[in-house]
Structures are given as C-alpha cells and as structure tokens.
C-alpha cells in the first residue's frame, strides 16, 4: 500500500499481503519472526530512489553498519555509554519498516501517522510473532529498546540517533563517488546539522571535508544544505528543510 493511500493503514492487511502468506502468529518458535526479518534485507531505503539509485541499500544494510559504528565510540563517549545496548538499539530501531516500509519526509505521511504505523507494527511483532517465544520476554525487550530509541531521552538513544545520521551521510557521499561526480545528493547534507554529540560531529565533519575535496577535484558544483551560506538552489533548500524539520526536529532536537 502506498504511503499516500486514503484507506487507513493496517498492519494486519500489510502482513496478509506478503507473497506466500504472513509468518504464523502464536508460535513458540522464533522461526516465523526470522522469516519476517528477511523483509529488512530486501526492502530498500527509499530516499535514494528519488535520485535514480534504484538498487541501493536495504534497511538491513543501514542498520548493520550502524551497529558496527556504535562499537567505535571514543573513550569520551564509551565511558558513559552501555555500548552493547547501543548496538542492540541500532539493530532494532528500524525493525518496523519490515512492514511499514521506509517512509521519507517527502512521502506526505505525517510524523504522528508514521509513528502510529511503526508502533502498531512493533506490537504486532511482540504480541503476535513473539508473544509465545521464550515466554514473550525477548519480544518485550526488543519493543522496550525500540521505544527507548523513539523517546530519545537516554544518552544511549541520543548516541544512536546521531549514528543514524552519520550512516546516512556516509552513504550519501559513497553514492556520489560511485557516480563519479555526476550525482549531487547535497539535499541530505542538512542532516549533518542535527548531529549533537561532538564525537559524532567530528566524524561527520571528516566526511563532509572529504566530500568537498572530492567535488573540487572533479570540478563540479555541488549542493551543501548543511551550510547556511550556500545559496545553491536556495528555494529548494527552504522547502526541503521545512519537510525535514518535522522528522528530525528543530534546534538540535533528536526525533529521527
């Protein structure tokens, strides 16, 4: 079902539409849930498709690199963080997209509606697919970690939000390099302004510097929405930033 469909979105209907049928609910085995996770491997991250990257990363690709990035928190951060917990959070934070799909700020779905779909889907996983697995405890742990990320109150969740953004910035630049300077994904650079922790900001700054050097070497004009002084496509920037603010928050608020 498309994000703009007028019919109210229902997780049961989406699950029922899976080719071959929805994984069985109520099982004491986690195998049906394992089958559901396959959809994270095959569902693409949608933001890149608008720029012609049709065979891009999957949701699982994104979460896997995030999980590894969490392990590289420098001592100034790792001494204050539960790193294994952060790694788990990176691995589950987009789990609902197995059925919801990757809704982007450009899809016309409000933040509250996106949150409703994702929360409903997590409940479907926890109560339906995992309710009888290990007494339901594993499913409840997954839902609690997911909710912690959504609430973005703990230091761990705020770190993982920043990791989510640096992973996007890395992927953005990697797609630009793969197209040898013929693809400008500068719209995504705005996300760099929402990174809050200095340690992650340092990683982001390094990628952005590398990107600037790449574009200079290739003689191309590129967009940088992270730079307020960049007047390139200023009207487009204003519209794009307005859309992103609903998803990522204003003035440094982490709500991705």
Assigned fold of 30-248 = Hypothetical protein af1432 (1.10.3210)
Cα–Cα distance for residue pair 216/222, rounded to 1 Å: 9
Q: Which residue has the higher pLDDT, 203 or 187?
A: 203
What are the tens digits of pLDDT across the range 84-117? 999 999 999 999 999 998 888 778 888 899 999 9
Q: Quick count: other Cβ atoms within 10 Å of Cβ 240?
A: 19
Confidence of residue 237 (pLDDT cuts 50, 70, 90): low
> What per-residue confidence (pLDDT) applies to 50?
84
H/E segment holding residue 145: helix 137-151
Entry field: residues in the chain: 256
Q: Tell which residue, 199, 205, 254, 243, has the closest CA to residue 106.
A: 243
> What per-residue confidence (pLDDT) applies to 251?
42
- Is 172 within 8 Å of 189 (Cβ atoms)? yes
How many helices (H) and strands (E) in the chain? Answer: 11, 0
- Residue 135, token pair as written in the block: 């007494």
What are the tens digits of pLDDT across the range 142-185? 999 999 999 999 999 999 999 999 999 999 999 999 988 888 99
Tell me the average pLDDT across 191-215: 96
- Residue 73, token pair as written in the block: 């928190």
Confidence of residue 255 (pLDDT cuts 50, 70, 90): very low
Q: Tell which residue, 102, 130, 126, has the closest CA to residue 29.
A: 130
Q: Where are the domains of the chain?
A: 30-248
**CA 174 to centroid of chain Cα atoms:** 17
- Residue 180, token pair as written in the block: 């040898």
243 has pLDDT over 70: no
Q: Tell which residue, 111, 125, 207, has the closest CA to residue 166.
A: 207
> What per-residue confidence (pLDDT) applies to 15?
94
What are the tens digits of pLDDT across the range 50-61? 888 878 999 999
Q: Which residue has the higher pLDDT, 51 or 248?
A: 51
Q: Which residue has the higher pLDDT, 77 or 225?
A: 77
Contacts of 188 (CB under 8 A, 6+ apart): 47, 168, 169, 172, 225
């Amino acid at each position: 079902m498309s994000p703009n469909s007028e019919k109210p979105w229902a997780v049961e209907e989406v699950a029922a539409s899976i080719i071959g049928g929805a994984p069985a609910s109520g099982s004491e085995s986690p195998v049906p849930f394992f089958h559901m996770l396959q959809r994270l491997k095959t569902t693409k991250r949608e933001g890149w498709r608008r720029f012609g990257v049709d065979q891009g990363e999957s949701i699982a690709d994104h979460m896997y690199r995030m999980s590894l990035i969490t392990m590289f928190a420098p001592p100034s951060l790792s001494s204050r963080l539960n790193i294994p917990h952060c790694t788990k959070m990176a691995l589950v934070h987009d789990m609902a997209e197995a059925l919801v799909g990757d809704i982007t700020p450009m899809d016309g779905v409000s933040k509250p509606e996106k949150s409703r779909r994702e929360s409903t889907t997590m409940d479907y996983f926890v109560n339906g697919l995992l309710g009888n697995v290990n007494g339901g405890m594993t499913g409840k742990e997954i839902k609690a970690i997911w909710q912690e990320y959504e609430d973005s109150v703990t230091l761990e969740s705020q770190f993982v939000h920043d990791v989510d953004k640096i992973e996007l910035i890395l992927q953005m630049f990697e797609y630009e390099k793969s197209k040898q300077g013929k693809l400008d994904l500068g719209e995504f650079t705005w996300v760099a302004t929402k990174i809050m922790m200095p340690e992650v900001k340092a990683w982001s700054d390094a990628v952005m510097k590398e990107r600037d050097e790449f574009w200079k070497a290739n003689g191309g004009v590129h967009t940088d929405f992270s730079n307020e002084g960049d007047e390139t496509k200023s009207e487009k920037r204003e519209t794009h930033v307005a859309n992103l603010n609903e998803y990522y928050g204003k003035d440094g608020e982490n709500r991705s």
